[in-house]
Amino acid sequence: MAEAVVFYIFAALILGFAVLVITAKSTVHSVLFLVADFLCVAALYVVLQAPFLAVIQVMVYAGGIVVLYLFVVMLVNLKRPPELHADPRRLGRLGLVMALAVFAELAAIGAYGWLKPSGFDGSLDSKNIEQVGRALYTDYLVPFEVASVLLLVAMIGAIVLAKREQ
């Protein structure tokens, strides 16, 4: 019961913040809403018995990535709002319609799921971090290393791209 309440509240927050993110006039505002959204998602992770992911979400997303966005937003202080010039060939509304259509379909699929409800039978014990760590460093060691290499490359690439060539 309490779980349902928590879920519905956070779900509403998530969707609301998401809407705000994509509708906010000021970029900085949407960044803030994004942070809030991520925090809510993190809370939802806690509900899903994934505290480690929740913390990682906060630390990496909210604490790292979005800060990056914030920097860029601050560096890109625009003389004129970016949305002025609009290309007539862009089919924004069609995209909106299509997105809604796809969502309708997915919802329909979900509705099928409602007919035969499946509760959370399996449950993760409290030693969540240990499990994740084991999985990362044993079964998924190679993907883990590859991900680290990917991050390194991304870092170098970002430095090279952002470097002001003198």
Compute the least distance from the CB of residue 137 to another protein, in Å: 10
Residue 18 is which amino acid?
A
Q: Are 59 and 45 in contact (CB under 8 A)?
A: no
Compute the least distance from the CB of residue 133 to another protein, in Å: 9
Residues 159, 165: Cα–Cα separation, whole Å: 11
Compute the least distance from the CB of residue 142 to another protein, in Å: 12
Residues 126, 134: Cα–Cα separation, whole Å: 14
Pair of tokens at residue 99: 């997105």
Q: What is the DSSP letter of 81?
A: -
